[in-house]
C-alpha cells in the first residue's frame, strides 16, 4: 500500500469515527465504531509517516481533510446546516492543504537540487610503484 493510500485510509477511518460520535448519542453501540475508527486512523497515520511522508504534510492533509469531509457529510447525513460561510471555510481548508503539499514538493525539489550540485569527492591518488 502506498503512503498516499495509507493516508486516505487514515482520513476515511477518522471521518467515520467522527460521524459515529453523532450516532452514538442515540445508540451507544456506535461507540465501538468510534474507538475502532480512531485507532485505525492513528495506526494508518503512523504507517504514512513510516512510509516517508513528512509529518507537517501528512498531519496537515489528514486534519484538514477530516474537518472538510466531516462537515460536508454531517450536512448530508444528519441535516446539519451548510451555509455560504461554512462552504467558504471548506474551500479555504482545501486550498490550504494544496498549498502545504505544493510547498513540500518544492522543498523536496530544492533539497534534491542542492544535493545534485555537490561535487563528488575524487578518490585520493596513490603513488605509482617506484615513485615513493
Return the domain boundaries, the chain: 3-115
Residue 52 is given by DSSP the state T
Task: Tell which residue, 78, 64, 60, has the closest CA to residue 19.
Answer: 78
Helix axes 55-78, 84-117, angle to 10 degrees: 160
Provide the pLDDT for residue 109.
77
Look up the pTM and report it. 0.76
Instruction: Show pLDDT as tens, one digit a residue, over the chain (132 residues).
Output: 799 999 999 999 999 999 999 999 999 999 999 999 999 999 999 999 999 998 888 998 999 999 999 999 999 999 999 999 999 999 998 898 888 888 877 777 777 777 777 766 666 666 667 665
- How confident is the model at residue 119, as a pLDDT? 67
Distance CA 21, CA 95 (A): 27
Amino acid at each position: 500500500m502506498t503512503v498516499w493510500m495509507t493516508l486516505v485510509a487514515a482520513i476515511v477511518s477518522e471521518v467515520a469515527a467522527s460521524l459515529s460520535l453523532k450516532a452514538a448519542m442515540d445508540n451507544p453501540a456506535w461507540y465501538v465504531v468510534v474507538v475502532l475508527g480512531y485507532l485505525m486512523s492513528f495506526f494508518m497515520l503512523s504507517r504514512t509517516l513510516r512510509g516517508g511522508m513528512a509529518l507537517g504534510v501528512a498531519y496537515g492533509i489528514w486534519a484538514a481533510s477530516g474537518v472538510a469531509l466531516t462537515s460536508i457529510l454531517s450536512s448530508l447525513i444528519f441535516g446539519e446546516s451548510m451555509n455560504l460561510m461554512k462552504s467558504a471555510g471548506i474551500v479555504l481548508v482545501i486550498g490550504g492543504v494544496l498549498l502545504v503539499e505544493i510547498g513540500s514538493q518544492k522543498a523536496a525539489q530544492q533539497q534534491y537540487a542542492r544535493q545534485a550540485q555537490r561535487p563528488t569527492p575524487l578518490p585520493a591518488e596513490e603513488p605509482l610503484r617506484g615513485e615513493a
